[in-house]
Amino acid sequence: MDSETRAKLEALKAKNPKLAQALEEAYRAMKERQEREAHDEKSVQDEENPPHQKAATPPASPPADDPAPLPPQGPAEAPREAEPVQKLTTWREVREFEWQGYLSKAEALLAKWGHLERLGPLAPLVRLLVALAIREGARLDPSREAHVFLAQWEVAEMLGVSERTVERWLNDPRYERYRKVARWWIAWETWYTSGQGIGQEQAVRGGTLWRVRVRPLVRPGRPMKVLAPYLALPWRDLGEDAREGRTRRGVSAPDSMSGYKEGLLLGEGVTLRSVVGKPLATWESKKTPLIYPDTARDIRELLRAASIPGGRNGRQKWAQAVASAIAQALGDQKSLRWWLKVAWAALKVVVFGGGEGPMRVLLRVVLMAQEARRDGFARSPGAYAQALLRREGWFELVRPYEGFKVGVAV
């Protein structure tokens, strides 16, 4: 290996030792293969063009009374060396190379913006979280961010430090100047959940929710925060995790799940969950969605002209409450945006003098679909309600008012 290639390998070894070792082994295997091919070609040429030699005089036959055999004539053929057996690459090594690649990309991203040195002791923490966001595809999303749920004790295990060290990084006043830079990339908030699964009546800490950016959000005087809708998501079931051993005490037991320590080296954790993109419009939860507090109101009370408030903000909240109530009544949370458009279409008809006809049709359809859901008649109540709207001619009622605006575009 020439000096220039050796220097490049040494520089790469400082950043990514595993990748440098793999390249060095590949280079060594290539050289050995080239030497074997050259040796085989030389042997073939010698067999095709043997050197010109004088005919050897046949040896005299031994006497009849000499029982000892003659030694073999000519030089003895040297035994060929066994070809080295190349070690096959396992899937675990491939995943380890991939994870090291994500860490290298995260480190290069921090260095590109000039923040790697300014993060100080918090650089490994930010690099780890940014690498997790890159692996989940945050760079391909327009928002350039992801929300990652990961307990602090698992963060400490991945970084090879104690949990108290991570706690000191996040809360100690001595690290405030480093946290100011870190908040351009990450934000964190303690996630609380019910403690009934572990025998406690009050709310308990279930882990830490991290908001991670793959492009820094630099806003002086306005530190980045975890978005509120994500704090209401059911990230973890403490009772089930305790039964399955997915806790700090469970994975540290002698008979704990196999391969946990090795999985940490690949960026895998038992509490790791992530969502990429902007705040979700809805989610499946047993609780009433917190972003629309009016959801608990009865659908009959909402779908009346008298319940429509005035003003831009009031109409927007009314449309969101109607859409949330319909989606909750039909169990069709994934179509919340579509029901929001339906609510705005009915609102336009009322505001511009078309009457309450579309609202009454919408109410009757929702009640029919809700009853079909209770009886088990409709496999998909949301799709059944949409079919009923088409059958009742609801879209023909609202079509003349599509071009009107009521303050907020659909």
pLDDT in tens, 288-316: 333 333 333 467 777 777 777 777 778 88
Residues 192 and 219 in one domain: yes
Residues 136 and 264 in one domain: yes
Q: Identify whether 185 is part of a domain.
A: yes
Alpha-carbon distances of 48 from 38, 56, 80, 101, 196, rounded to whole Å: 16, 20, 20, 50, 85
pLDDT band for position 66 (50/70/90)?
Answer: very low
pLDDT band for position 282 (50/70/90)?
Answer: very low
Question: Do residues 83 and 32 touch, judged by C-beta distance below 8 A?
Answer: no
Residues 204 and 265 in one domain: yes
Per mean pLDDT, which range of 11-20, 65-74, 235-244 is the poorest?
Answer: 65-74
Residue 196 has pLDDT above 90, yes or no: no
Question: Do residues 329 and 299 touch, judged by C-beta distance below 8 A?
Answer: yes
Residue 251 has pLDDT above 70, yes or no: yes
Residues 127 and 259 in one domain: yes
Residue 180 has pLDDT above 60, yes or no: yes
| Rounded distance between C-alpha atoms, residue 96 and residue 293, angstroms | 46
Q: Identify whether 408 is part of a domain.
A: no
Q: What pLDDT score does 122 carry?
A: 96
Residues 238 and 351 in one domain: no
Highest mean pLDDT among 154-158, 194-198, 355-359: 154-158
β 273-276/203-213 pair status: unpaired
Residue 192 has pLDDT above 80, yes or no: yes
Choosing from 242, 276, 310, the residue where a domain stops is 276
Question: Do residues 263 and 269 touch, judged by C-beta distance below 8 A?
Answer: yes
Residues 167 and 298 in one domain: no
| Rounded distance between C-alpha atoms, residue 99 and residue 97, angstroms | 6
Q: Identify whether 77 is part of a domain.
A: no
Q: How many domains does the chain have?
A: 2
Residues 178 and 237 in one domain: yes
Residue 373 has pLDDT above 60, yes or no: yes
Residue-number span of the structural domain to which 328 is assigned = 293-401
Q: What pLDDT score does 123 carry?
A: 96
Residues 320 and 222 in one domain: no
pLDDT top residue among 280 and 15: 15
Q: Identify whether 87 is part of a domain.
A: no
Residue 55 has pLDDT above 70, yes or no: no
| Rounded distance between C-alpha atoms, residue 372 and residue 4, angstroms | 74
- When pLDDT is averaged across residues 226-238 and rounded to a whole number, the result is 86
Residues 256 and 199 in one domain: yes
Q: Identify whether 31 is part of a domain.
A: no
pLDDT top residue among 145 and 62: 145
Q: What pLDDT score does 259 carry?
A: 63
Dihedral of the alpha carbons of 218, 219, 222, 224, in degrees to the nearest 10:
-30
Q: Identify whether 357 is part of a domain.
A: yes
Residues 271 and 301 in one domain: no
Residue 151 has pLDDT above 50, yes or no: yes
What value, to the nearest 5°, has the Cα angle with vertex 299 and ends 410 and 291?
Answer: 55
Residue 281 has pLDDT above 70, yes or no: no
Choosing from 276, 306, 326, the residue where a domain stops is 276
Residues 337 and 380 in one domain: yes
- When pLDDT is averaged across residues 52-71 and rounded to a whole number, the result is 51
pLDDT band for position 16 (50/70/90)?
Answer: confident
CA-nearest of 228, 334, 351 to 291 is: 228
pLDDT band for position 77 (50/70/90)?
Answer: low
Quote the percentage of the chain above a pLDDT of 90: 23
Highest mean pLDDT among 136-150, 242-256, 369-383: 136-150
Q: Identify whether 377 is part of a domain.
A: yes
Residues 151 and 256 in one domain: yes
Residue 371's identity, in one-letter code, is E
- When pLDDT is averaged across residues 46-62 and rounded to a whole number, the result is 54
Q: Is 91 helix (H, G, I), strand (E, B) or coil?
A: helix
| Rounded distance between C-alpha atoms, residue 170 and residue 161, angstroms | 14
pLDDT tens sequence across 97-126: 889 999 999 999 999 999 999 999 999 999
pLDDT top residue among 233 and 131: 131
Choosing from 206, 241, 276, the residue where a domain stops is 276
